[in-house]
A = this chain, B = another copy of it.
């Protein structure tokens, strides 16, 4: 048996087909591909689920179970989701904390599952008790109102973050590259010469400070070589050194 590489999503007694479809769509957005359904109210398959899933239901595995116990029987660690705190001594994890815990367990070869309860009531306490920990989404305490698909989306999003691991910030520069220090030197030297010719610097000792600040502006913008070339062209145009179109 191949070790699992991601958690199983378990919907316990889901009521509306639309929400099963929204769950599938949310899951696949996060790259999650195994869904277990425990006794869905309106049976299975379900046309409304298909319609809501934006094609996701065809791309994930859906397994049907009669009871929660059967759906998690082969799982080494189970997480329950609940909007309300229950009166039990059970660890409460954030989605981020839960995903980190799941990743650790997957690396140890464990099978994991996340339980979501029916729309109206949420998970029953007896199902929560079966779980190792609860996952609770930190929301506005004065307005916490996520539907089933939205709750699955938050978990799937945290999962996706842990997998795709995008850098918090990236600057795509396409075909151009950030300007090199020598290109900034060249740009600033030329600008300084032009400004000297136009008697821009009234106070000699301010010259290097001003040029430093101007360089700082363009360095901070992470100007590309192409952008510096455009600025060179602008200077030439302002100086009247470029010929109007049509002239040679």
Contact = CB atoms under 8 A, between A and B. Distances in A.
Contact of A137 (B157, B165, B173): B157
A140 B161 contact: no
A87 interface: yes
B143 A59 contact: yes
B145 A160 contact: no
Interface in A40-83: 54-56, 59
A90 B169 CA distance: 10
A37 interface: no
A154 B157 CA distance: 8
A31 interface: yes
B145 A87 contact: no
A213 to B, nearest CB: 20
A150 B25 CA distance: 11
B146 A29 contact: yes
Interface of A: 25-26, 28-31, 54-56, 59, 85, 87, 89-94, 96-97, 100, 133, 136-146, 150, 153-154, 157, 160-161, 164-174, 176, 222, 224, 227
A-B CB proximity, top 3 nearest: A97-B168, A138-B166, A31-B140
